[in-house]
Structure 1
Amino acid sequence: MKTFGIAGWSGSGKTTLIEQLIPLFTARGLHVSLIKHTHHGFDIDRPGKDSHRFREAGASQVMLAGAARWALMHELRDEAQPSLVELLAQLSPCDLVLVEGFKSAELPKLEVHRPSVGKPFFHTEFPNVVAIASDEKLEVDLPVLDLNDVPALADYILRFTELA
């Protein structure tokens, strides 16, 4: 599996970009998966549902399975947060895994940067940034790609990962 990261500050447009990239990749016959990092607590379950009751009772893992999808919830409890490598090992084989967030992870990534967000670049701290996608012209030492030209961004990622 090839991995490629999309990272940027909150509000920079990472999720929107990924949402636009995935159909372009799948239209080329690629199987794409995604891992999204979140700094916020989250829960895909709801109190009162059977699966939530099982987790509250102490189950380490609860799998929901139906005709259209299945989902596995793993409670970390006292375990350390898994690394990106450990999370990637949980995925089924695919052609490309897009990784949202994980700025410091050792994988090639695109920094999504909008000057209007008012945040600094982070590629100076994380050497795995291979290019920057922006909605403005930038003076930096990396390739700068037009954030609004999603097909060109898709082509860049596929060339970089050698999937094109």
Structure 2
Amino acid sequence: MQNSQLGKMKTLTADVTGVLLAGGKSRRMGKDKTQMALSWQRLTMFERALELLQQNFPAVLIAGERPDLAKPDVPALPDIYPGSALGGLYTGLKAAKTDWIFVAPCDMPYPDQRIVERLLRYRNGYDAVVPRTPSGYEPVFALYHKNCLPQMEAMLQQNQYRIYDFYQRINIRYLDPLELPTGWQRSLININTPDDLARLKEERMTPPVVSIVAKSGTGKTTLLEKLIFEMKRRGYRVGAVKHDAHSFSIDHEGKDSWRLTEAGADTMLITSPAKVAMVKQNQNQEPALLDTISEYCQDLDIVLTEGFKRSSMPKIEVHRRERSEHLLCRGEEHDPSLLAVASDSHHELDVPVYDINDAAGLCDLIVKKFLS
């Protein structure tokens, strides 16, 4: 997050403790989920959840008897009433020194910062804020106030563990799909069984891709800039990929990064508080676009590319009459992946035609097709 965003989040979360639920036995999975690392991610699911909590909350604790996961600043506390999610919530809320806790599980591969922010925004006047989707409630990625403790304890002492029954006893605010950020379906996935894991590996949840194509000098980059600005203005996370048919270099001869690459590093990264840059050597063959996006763009809502006119991705063609009378994707070739045309002149086509400067209209189309 940028510094300004961090400042806002610190203000929002000064009275919230992050609680990582790790008291489950992973019986359905058959192995410890806290140690599972998805092959395309740099962290285990436990580490991803812990990172999210530590970035947002001044104090973090683990609810569950897991001394192997504890750190000097992240204690692990055995559940007071073991054996249920409600017991884990009670343990975390009882131990927290703040009025609120935000809970997260250790089996969520794509926990989303934006959902955290949204839940925090709606908490005033309520005892809990919980996402609610067509599949049900998401009780373990939610906010709870200490007002909940008496009702939790009363139920647990009577061996009642159903969180949904607990919700009937408190003043709760549900966040429904229209109030959740785009991409919530991906963010709220839990990995509970080997089948869940296999399905996730199969799908890889690649974000949708739209390619901006045109003949050279038509204005692809200009339109792409406007589209990125408009999508960001609407709150979407946007990736941009530019295709270069030739070899290129982003570092300059003589610089340290260039020297490390020249020395033979297969992957070279430069990190700073603001950015991370990576130079990764291809083995004399450009990887498939989908593979590249799957590897590097999993945390995005949409990827917009410049070029890739030979790909099968949905395309928006940019056209200027002074540059050419003919379109790339309609004419000698009929590209079935053409989504729309942005032009400075009139066309009768089988796809929508937008003014070349109508970034808002094109964004409406992209959102309707891929993000609704």
| TM-score, normalisation: structure 1 | 0.91
Q: Which residue number in structure 1 is paired with residue 17 of structure 2?
A: none
Q: Which residue number in structure 2 is paired with residue 36 of structure 1?
A: 242
User: RMSD value over aligned CA atoms?
Assistant: 1.5
Unaligned runs of 5+ in 1: none
Aligned: 1:135 with 2:344: yes
Matched position secondary structure for 1:116 = coil
Give a deviation string over 1:94-149, Cα, whole Å, max 9, x none. 10111111011111111111121126312133321121110111233322111122
1:81 to 261, 286, 311: 286
2:305 to 83, 91, 99: 99
C-alpha distance in 2, partners of 1:79/1:41? 10
Q: Which has the larger radius of gyration?
A: 2
| Aligned residues with identical type, % of pairs | 39
Q: Is contact 1:9-1:119 (8 Å) kept?
A: no
Q: Which residue number in structure 1 is paired with residue 259 of structure 2?
A: 53
C-alpha distance in 1, partners of 2:258/2:324? 40
- One-letter amino acid of the counterpart of residue 12, structure 1: T
Unaligned runs of 5+ in 2: 1-206
- One-letter amino acid of the counterpart of residue 262, structure 2: E
C-alpha distance in 1, partners of 2:321/2:223? 16
The number of residues matched between the two structures is 162
C-alpha distance in 2, partners of 1:48/1:32? 33
Q: Which residue number in structure 2 is paired with residue 147 of structure 1?
A: 356
- One-letter amino acid of the counterpart of residue 349, structure 2: V
C-alpha distance in 1, partners of 2:311/2:275? 29
Q: Is contact 1:65-1:71 (8 Å) kept?
A: yes
- One-letter amino acid of the counterpart of residue 141, structure 1: D
Q: Is contact 1:5-1:108 (8 Å) kept?
A: yes
- One-letter amino acid of the counterpart of residue 369, structure 2: F
Q: Is contact 1:147-1:153 (8 Å) kept?
A: no
C-alpha distance in 2, partners of 1:34/1:119? 28
- One-letter amino acid of the counterpart of residue 217, structure 2: G
Q: Which residue number in structure 2 is paired with residue 116 of structure 1?
A: 322
Matched position secondary structure for 1:115 = coil
Of 91-100 and 117-126, more deviation after overlay is shown by: 117-126
Q: Which residue number in structure 2 is paired with residue 6 of structure 1?
A: 212
Q: Which residue number in structure 2 is paired with residue 63 of structure 1?
A: 269
Of 140-149 and 130-139, more deviation after overlay is shown by: 140-149
> Whose helix proportion is higher, 1 or 2?
2
* Offset, 1:57: 1.1
* Offset, 1:36: 0.9
Q: Is contact 1:7-1:102 (8 Å) kept?
A: yes
